[in-house]
Structure 1
């Protein structure tokens, strides 16, 4: 029986049944509560690896004058999503070499399972610089605020001696109170695992970079920031193709590029190429990086072949087998660089080892047997 509710209206006592409010079903309440908890933890612990854009081949098809067929060499792009976040406190830290060694051992285990030779740990100034830059600016992008790709800083800080690929990872954390362990603790092995196995959003570009047989060294650095409610742990992994012993390292000055050295017997020099890139106008919006469009190109292993749709630089170009099996390289090229921007000089080699592996990114087949063994960038 319903209870009556009575109240005074215009001098009369009026009574009417009181309506009961229907209680929500317990099942609905439990479902909503569970969804709220899941959403909270997704925001609290969220690792991020960027999405790549469609890659751009960096070498054009070869226009062959002789019956010999020359293969087009393409350089894949790396990836990271550009996100700008404002912080109050940026924290830099000393390197954890023990964690790095463990991560390299783990990466080599993964590579061995794929039949790929191991890598060695190497120190690069650019890796540490880029990690510190991410913590100071929270610009999670391969490009700096001035629109320069990482090849510029690699040349400035490490000489541009070898081929390199930059890989970035960020783990974001939200929540007040003390510094979360996900930000405070350094775990390079976890970063390697994420870059290799949790890379679907990046279309497996990081995975292919870390497993590419061309890369025989790895450099790592990390940093973090925390403002009391929001923070991030940044990891920077440079994969390095170190195959050349330089007599005279790469150098550009006064319109002239020079380099002289010996490449390993496994790496047959195929192309000398120069790429031009304008400054990136919106670094935070870029999900990947590349070294630009082909500007100059010279085929090194065939005097009768030319690069299609690219001007051939004048100068001396020698790439020949030495008595000890290595490849002697000597380049003295005239290169007039007149447009403002970044110019990247590369030597691309054919990997003669015949290693079979399976890239997973859409542009991954362009990696097989093709190695950038020198990457040197200048700013005009």
Structure 2
């Protein structure tokens, strides 16, 4: 297994009080610039009934995303813990919201057994706008570790008091870290938003619909179209043909992919083309353009519209974490593009 590198964060106590490098200096600038600064606190996965790590993280993130949109959040503070914290951070990143990750201490990931959770945490740290550790406790001193966890809550509430986004099962109302954080929030007079756990119950009951994968459906890039899509004067039998051909500017390679007998063959050929230098910059726009052409065809437009307001995930088993989700990790860009397109139908 590939070694996971988790960034080491600066610790509050390492800085002289009020120095320009102190993490609070940046936080004060945020407080002066934004009016909708919120924080997140919520249950860990083991306390969420029915939660499956490899399947349900992005459902939590979707619930968080809807709440962040509704509250028009501009800055989010969260502690990076497995479960609701990471889901809120993931959602905020997708929405382009400024993210401050204040971990309780360096090495909190050592508490987690699932390597995919650690990998996701490392990615969220890498992409955070501002990140630091609140304390540096002796990891062998359980009381010191718990105190650091509580200090992390206080730190979040210090800055994100304009709106606390809680996610807590009713049976945890009076126990655990989330309950303690909410008690502290009430003491400080923070604005506590409605508990979002009922949204999870909607998912469990089927009221909140989720498509966990789209392969072998009309939504898949591999679906054979009713008529070829024409892009830049060339016809493509499937969206997969078009996307793979767009990876290169080599005319012979493009033609070879365009003439591929199946979308699977087009994908295979696309893995060995001379990749254009600007591909990483262009690929989202290329996919978006192809999707617009494909879903202009009535049968495919009807299939996308039939998903209603369901969360669409490009769940896969081939480790595609850019376009989809594998083992609970991934940006799900294809699913998001489909949902954005659905809104325009």
TM-score normalized by the length of structure 1 = 0.27
Bigger relative contact order (CA 8 A; separation at least 6): 1
TM-score normalized by the length of structure 2 = 0.29
If each structure's strand is expressed as a fraction of its own residues, which one has the higher value? 1
Give the greater-gyration-radius structure (CA).
1
